[in-house]
Amino acid sequence: MDISAKRAVKLEVKMARYRGPRLKIVRRLGTPLPGLIRTDPDLRRPYPPGQHGPTKRAKLSDYALRLREKQKVRFHYGLSEHQMARYIADAFRRKGNPGLTLLNSLERRLDNVLFRAGFAPTMTAARQMARHGHVTVNGKRVDIPSFSVSENDVIEPKENSKMKEQIGRNRQDPNNLALPSYLAVMESDTKIKMTMSPNRDDVPVIVNEQLIIEYYAGR
């Protein structure tokens, strides 16, 4: 295995969700990951982390390229390796393009919908918000971050939630990502409806999903 692949594989051995330096991951993968951290599009230092300062990015092997694309998705959506593998297995079972099916399933996650709606500034914060039961789906409290939101589902803060005012403030944050096409604001600024199935263009990460499928297909 070449050096670039060995560097990439360091992230692969972390089976649980990543809890280390976030900007380090963004710089290593070479692209903004808004679900992981808010950072400038130029990444501030557009070269890999390390003690030797600015260095040219090494040419990646085919394996490292596929691994990098998979890691982009995993870190942006805040998934463990086990969760990622489950979504991949489900994408292979369904009809249609497995790469598009994978991204569609991830965009439907409740924690992602909360993040994309501006209820929380990062995916980590959105996951915590969901897990603590601060939101409802169609009027019912849901505390499962991986809950799959469907068309016509309505998401809003729980009536007596301590986070209700904070969610309202978060919604006004100018640093939020643009509201995706599949979400619409209803009569209240903190009442969101999924109006359609997520589109490929709604994914806010620059990623080649076909390489992710090839990575898992070759295992």
Q: Is the pLDDT of residue 16 over 60?
A: no
In what helix (H) or strand (E) does residue 71 lie, and over which residues does it extend? helix 62-77
Q: Is the pLDDT of residue 219 over 80?
A: no
- Domains, the chain, in order of start with CATH, read 3-105+203-217 (1.10.1050.10), 109-197 (3.10.290.10)
DSSP state of 56: P
Strands 135-137 and 140-141: antiparallel
Beta bridge partners of 192: 155, 185
Q: Which of 108, 109, 122, 124 is nearest to 17 (CA)?
A: 124
Distances (CA, A) of 8 to 3, 22, 118: 9, 15, 31
In 98-143, alpha helices (H):
98-107, 110-116, 123-131
Distances (CA, A) of 167 to 76, 137, 138: 21, 15, 18
pLDDT in tens, 172-197: 999 899 999 999 999 889 999 999 99
User: How confident is the model at residue 218, as a pLDDT?
Assistant: 75
The pair phi, psi for residue 109, each rounded to 5°, is -55, 140
Q: Is the pLDDT of residue 6 over 80?
A: no
User: How confident is the model at residue 50, as a pLDDT?
Assistant: 57
Per the CB < 8 A criterion, the answer to whether 146 and 78 are in contact is no
User: How confident is the model at residue 125, as a pLDDT?
Assistant: 95
At residue 26 the predicted structure's pLDDT band, cuts being 50, 70 and 90, is: confident
User: How confident is the model at residue 47, as a pLDDT?
Assistant: 58
More confidently predicted of 77 and 57: 77
Helix orientation angle between 62-77 and 3-12, rounded to the nearest 10 degrees: 30
Q: Is the pLDDT of residue 149 over 80?
A: yes
Per the CB < 8 A criterion, the answer to whether 36 and 123 are in contact is yes
State what percent of residues in the chain have pLDDT above 90.
Answer: 71
| Percent composition of the chain: helix, strand, coil (DSSP 3-state, to 5) | 40, 10, 50
At residue 59 the predicted structure's pLDDT band, cuts being 50, 70 and 90, is: confident
Strands 192-194 and 140-141: unpaired
Separation CA 135–CA 159 (nearest Å): 8
